[in-house]
Amino acid sequence: MTTGKPLKFSNLRKTVSKRADEIVEKRQTGKIKYSLHDSCLSALAMMFFQDPSMLEFQRRLEEASQLNNLQTMFNVTTIPKDNQMRTILDNVPPEKLYPVFSDFFELLQRGNHLNDYLFLEDGYIIPIDGTQYFRSESVNCPSCLVKKHRNGTTSYSHQAIGAAVVHPDKPQVFPLAPEPIKNTDGTKKQDCEINAGKRILQRIRTDHPNLKIVITADDLYSKKPFVELLKKLKMSFILVAKPTDHTILFEQVLQKDEQDEADVIEWKDKKGLTHRYEWINGLRLNGGTSPPEINFLEYSIIKDQDKITYTNSWVTDIEVNADNVNKLVKAGRAKWKIENENFNTLKNQGYHAEHNFGHGEKNLSFNFFIIILIAFSMHQIIELMDPLFKKARAKFSARKEFWNQLRCMIRIIIFRNWESLLQFIISPSTGIRAP
Ligand SMILES: [Zn+2]
Summarised one tens digit per residue, pLDDT across range 347-384 is 554 455 445 577 889 999 899 989 989 998 999 999 99
60-66, long-range: CB < 8 A, 24+ apart: 61/411, 61/412, 61/414, 65/414, 65/435
Find the 89 Cα to ligand 1 centroid distance in Å: 14
- Spell 226-259 as b/e; 16+ CB within 10 A means b: bbebbeeeebbbbbbbeeeebeebbebbeebeee
Residues pairing with 166 in the sheet: 125
Find the 360 Cα to ligand 1 centroid distance in Å: 7
What residues does each domain of the chain span?
A: 9-96+356-431, 114-344
Cβ pair 146, 156 in contact under 8 A: yes
Note the pLDDT of residue 187.
53
Cβ pair 313, 240 in contact under 8 A: yes
Find the 270 Cα to ligand 1 centroid distance in Å: 51
Residue 343 CB partners (closer than 8 Å, separation 6+): 131, 133, 162, 353
Find the 189 Cα to ligand 1 centroid distance in Å: 16
Task: From 314, 179, 346, select the one nearest 245 (Cα to Cα).
Answer: 314
Cβ pair 337, 173 in contact under 8 A: yes
Measured between alpha carbons, how far is 327 from 119 in angstroms, rounded to an integer?
Answer: 8
Task: From 10, 18, 75, select the one nearest 418 (Cα to Cα).
Answer: 10
Find the 183 Cα to ligand 1 centroid distance in Å: 9
> Could you tell me the fold of the domain covering 114-344?
Transposase Inhibitor Protein From Tn5; Chain A, domain 1 (3.90.350)
| Segments of the chain with pLDDT less than 50 | 1, 186, 336-343, 349-350, 353-354, 431, 435
Number of helices (H), then strands (E), belonging to the chain: the values are 17, 12
Measured between alpha carbons, how far is 116 from 378 in angstroms, rounded to an integer?
Answer: 18
Q: How far is CA 223 from its chain centroid?
A: 23
Find the 142 Cα to ligand 1 centroid distance in Å: 6
- Quickly list H helices, 132-223: 193-207
Find the 190 Cα to ligand 1 centroid distance in Å: 13
- Three-state secondary-structure class, residue 431: helix
Cβ pair 18, 106 in contact under 8 A: no
Find the 90 Cα to ligand 1 centroid distance in Å: 11
Find the 5 Cα to ligand 1 centroid distance in Å: 41
Find the 148 Cα to ligand 1 centroid distance in Å: 15
pLDDT digit string, tens, across residues 253-310: 999 999 999 999 999 999 999 999 999 999 999 988 899 999 999 999 999 888 999 9
Note the pLDDT of residue 340.
41
Measured between alpha carbons, how far is 249 from 224 in angstroms, rounded to an integer?
Answer: 12
Measured between alpha carbons, how far is 82 from 57 in angstroms, rounded to an integer?
Answer: 12
Find the 57 Cα to ligand 1 centroid distance in Å: 29
Find the 236 Cα to ligand 1 centroid distance in Å: 34
Measured between alpha carbons, how far is 56 from 186 in angstroms, rounded to an integer?
Answer: 40
Find the 83 Cα to ligand 1 centroid distance in Å: 17
Cβ pair 219, 242 in contact under 8 A: yes
The helix-helix angle for 82-90 and 54-65 (nearest 10°) equals 120
